[in-house]
Amino acid sequence: MSRALAFGAVAVTAAAVIGSAGCSTNSTTSTTITVGAASSLTDVFAQIGDDFTRANPHITVRFTFAGSSSLAEQIVQGAPIDVFASAGTSSMQPLIDSQAVTDARAFASNSLQIAVPPGNPAGVTGLADLPGVTLLVCQEQVPCGGAAQRLFEKNSLSVSPASLEPDVRSVLTKIEADEADAGIVYVTDVRAAGDSVMGISIPDDQNVATLLQAAVVTDSAHRDAALAFVSFLNSPDAQARLAAAGFAAP
Amino acid sequence: MRTTRRATPLPIGILATVGVAFLAIPLLGLLLRTPWSRLPELLTSPVATEALRLSLICSLAATAIAVLVGVPLAWVLAQSRLPGTTAVRALVTLPLVLPPVVGGVALLLAFGRRGVVGQYLYDWFGVQLPFSTAGVILAEAFVAMPFLVITVEGALRSADPRYDEAAATLGAGRWTVLRRVTLPLIAPALIAGTVLAWARALGEFGATITFAGNLPGVTQTLPLAVYAALDTDRDAAIALSLVLLVASLAVLLLLRDRYLRASSS
């Protein structure tokens, strides 16, 4: 809640700054770019945004966080977004193909983990235990769901999930409440959830990786600033923030 | 005896037109974007028919529960002179204004397998309501019942008690009075409340996805299918939305012409 309020305050302040800049005769031009980023990047991008503005004081960054596929749809419909950062390539690739975005580059990768309630009541130790427990996965349309599907296929695992949740957050909520025995989410989601869930690691040879990409929206009115932000994601500072949040290098 | 209607002042007319446009244009957008030629194919797809079937079963079952429990509750609320009645009335109408997602979380905390009540259901009977069709019905009944309760209670309170008294003086027992006098008197309100509750149950989304999850064939009702389809097949999402729109419109037309006007006059 407080984060939402903080974002609101930032947005209002930013709007006020832009408003006053527009009326004044001040010669320094400040730019505000809007970054549409996957929900899983919420915490780490807030930090990276601060770092970026510190390094580029004339550029203010606003974020809109949503599922990658929703953001892709919004960009196609002409939403005023300058940078698109997606979790997974399936939402990004169609935009690259249709030239709705340019300069796409990967900046991190993420892998999957099994989230279980604290204490692991069902005693899940690995993928092999999943067919016998109440299992939650994301629906296939969102990246975490697509990745879970690839995980099951790669390991020839036949599972019947109890529910196909709309996003990672609703998987974790039900795991935290101990309503389900296990859920498939990203490593970074488990880390961000803190003590409320436990993570059971999936060995690298069984796991699947998801690439995170950022790109400049072709219709952006602030191409240079947008490109600067996309490049900044691969800077040592941003990479350190991403690593701290549990992301791997691309 | 001037019966001529005064002309609507221009500013009011303009603002009213803006109001109509604001509410109607999104619906018009839905109709304009509807893939009419693909409609039969989209509505007969396995996902759509499963969702339709599930929505019908669950909303009807939820409405039945609402009527079974809600009418006696409305009767008690209308009769009661006890000091706590107002608080109880506020409590049972709370789901009406509560965000459905909050209702879903509350249901999870109460009837989940670690919930206040749910843990006993799970430990003693092995019953797990989340992720089951029964869970969907429970969530829908939770949000829909208040519509029935307030509609029926309002009718009971405004019904003339002299009819009941007259029947009683003529020797009718309490049960007979209820069955032969009170219920027929409030029939329009009962029907209106039932239909409203059904429409609310049919459109229920937040509490359902939070409490019962989203699995095709088990818990994925029409609104959930619309939400899921939005990411992959927008035409399918629009087609399913159209079904919900038509159902809602039918309910409103029915209520306006037959019951709402009758019961308010």
Q: Which residue of A has its CA nearest to B101?
A: A170
> What are the residue ranges of CATH 3.40.190.10 in chain A?
2-109+210-244, 111-209
User: Which of the pair, A141 or A202, is modelled with greater confidence?
Assistant: A202
pLDDT at A30: 87
Total structural domains within chain B = 1
Question: How far is CA A79 from each of CA A48, A64, A70, A181, B31, rounded to the nearest angstrom?
Answer: 23, 11, 11, 39, 22
Do the strands A31-38 and A59-66 form a parallel or antiparallel pair, or are they unpaired?
Answer: parallel
Work out the minimum CA distance from A142 to partner chain B, whole angstroms.
8
- The amino acid that residue A23 corresponds to is C
| Structural domain for B120, as ranges | 10-264
Query: Which of the 8 DSSP states describes residue A235?
Result: S
pLDDT, mean of residues B144-161: 91
pLDDT mean over A134-163: 92
Residues 6+ apart with CB under 8 A from B223: B55, B203, B204, B205, B208, B244
- Comparing A46-50, A118-122, B93-97, B173-177, the range with the smallest average pLDDT is B173-177
- Residues 95 to 124 of B: which have CB under 8 A from any A CB? 105, 108-109, 112-114
Strand A31-38 versus strand A101-116 pairing type: unpaired
Structure token pair of residue B163? 């009819």
Q: How far is B237 from chain A (nearest CA, A)?
A: 13
Average pLDDT of the segment spanning A82-89:
92
Q: Is ipTM > 0.85 here?
A: no
Query: Which of A54 and A192 is assigned the larger pLDDT?
Result: A54
Contact criterion met (CB < 8 Å) for B215 and A162: yes
In a domain, B1, yes or no: no
Reported confidence tier of residue B177, pLDDT bands at 50, 70, 90: confident
The overall average pLDDT reported for chain B is 88
Of A69, A142, A163, Cβ closest to residue B213: A163
Arithmetic mean of pLDDT, A214-224: 95
Name which of B130, B220, B232 is nearest A179 (Cβ-Cβ). Answer: B130
Residue A44 has pLDDT above 60, yes or no: yes
What is the predicted pLDDT for the residue at A20? 43
The reply to whether B2 falls in a domain is: no
Q: Provide the angle, in degrees to the nearest 10, between the axes of the packed helices B100-111 and B133-158.
A: 110
Q: In angstroms, what separates the C-alpha of B154 from chain A's closest C-alpha?
A: 38
Q: Does the distance separating the beta carbons of B214 and A165 come in below 8 Å? A: yes
Q: What count of CB pairs under 8 Å joins A to B?
A: 60
Q: What is the pLDDT, as a whole number, of residue B4?
A: 61
Distances (CA, A) of A220 to A79, A84, A223, B131, B223: 10, 11, 6, 43, 34
CA distance A183 to B261: 51
Whether B59 has a pLDDT exceeding 80, the answer reads yes
Q: Model confidence over B231-258: pLDDT tens digits?
A: 778 888 999 999 999 888 888 888 776 5
A2-109+210-244 folds as: D-Maltodextrin-Binding Protein; domain 2 (3.40.190)
Contact A166 B214 (CB under 8 A): yes
Tokens of residue B141, six digits: 């009944």
Q: Does the structure show a pLDDT above 80 at B6?
A: no
Q: Which CATH number fits domain A111-209: 3.40.50.12170, 3.40.190.10, 3.40.50.1110, 3.40.720.10?
A: 3.40.190.10
Q: Is the pLDDT of residue A28 over 70?
A: no
pLDDT for B197 equals 94
Q: Do A166 and B114 count as a contact with CB atoms less than 8 A apart?
A: no
Structure tokens at A211: 């690439």
Confidence check: pLDDT of A122 > 50: yes
Distance from A219 to chain B by nearest Cα, in Å?
Answer: 22
The Cα of A209 is separated from the nearest Cα of chain B by a number of Å equal to 22
Place B33 in a pLDDT band, splitting at 50, 70 and 90.
Answer: confident
CA–CA distance, B264 with B250 (Å, rounded to integer): 20
Q: What is the pLDDT of residues B198-213, one digit of tens each?
A: 999 999 999 999 999 9
Are B38 and B235 within 8 A, CB to CB?
A: yes
Dist CA A188 CA A247 (whole Å): 6
Interchain CB contact of B162 with A (< 8 Å): no
Which structure tokens are listed for B61? 């079952």
Quick check: A180 and B131 CB within 8 A?
A: yes
Instruction: List the single best residue of A77, A140, A164 to mutate versus B (max B Cβ within 10 A).
Output: A164
Per-chain mean pLDDT for chain A: 87
Residue of A nearest to B217 (CA): A163
Identity of the residue in B113, B215, B227 whose CB atom sits nearest the CB atom of A163? B215
Mean pLDDT, rounded, for B187-202: 93
Round to whole Å and give the CA distance between A144 and A183.
Answer: 11
> Nearest CA to CA, how far is B245 from chain A (Å)?
23
Of A67, A170, A179, the CB nearest to B112: A179
Instruction: Kindly list the residues from chain A whose CB atom is less than 8 angstroms away from the CB atom of residue B109.
Output: 177
- Residue A180 contacts B where some CB pair is shorter than 8 Å: yes
Nearest Cβ partner for B114 among A136, A139, A179? A179
Percent of chain A with pLDDT over 90: 66
Region B69-74 average pLDDT: 94
CATH code for the domain in which residue B174 is found: 1.10.3720.10
Q: List, for residues B107-149, the tens digit of each pLDDT value.
A: 999 998 888 998 898 889 888 888 899 999 999 999 999 999 9
DSSP one-letter code for B4: P
Nearest partner of B68 among B180, B145, B129, judged by Cα: B145
Closest CB to A163 among B108, B214, B231: B214
The reported pLDDT for the residue numbered A59 is: 95
Q: Which residue of B has its CA nearest to A178?
A: B114
The residue-averaged pLDDT of B173-200 equals 89
pTM for this entry: 0.76
Cα separation, A164 vs B69, whole angstroms: 32
Confidence of residue A197 (pLDDT cuts 50, 70, 90): very high
For an interface test with B, give the residue of A90, A139, A159 to mutate (most B CBs within 10 A).
A139
> What is the biggest distance separating any 2 CA atoms in chain A, rounded to whole angstroms?
68
Interface test with A, best of B114, B121, B215 (most A CBs within 10 A): B215
For chain B, how are helix, strand and coil distributed in percent, rounded to 5? Answer: 80, 0, 20
Confidence class of residue A27 from pLDDT cuts 50, 70 and 90? very low
pLDDT band at A14 (very low <50, low <70, confident <90, very high): very low
Kindly state the tokens that stand for B81.
Answer: 């002179």
Whether B156 is in a domain gets the answer: yes
Q: Is A90's Cβ below 8 Å from some Cβ in B?
A: no
Contact A174 B108 (CB under 8 A): yes
pLDDT, residue B49, reads 92
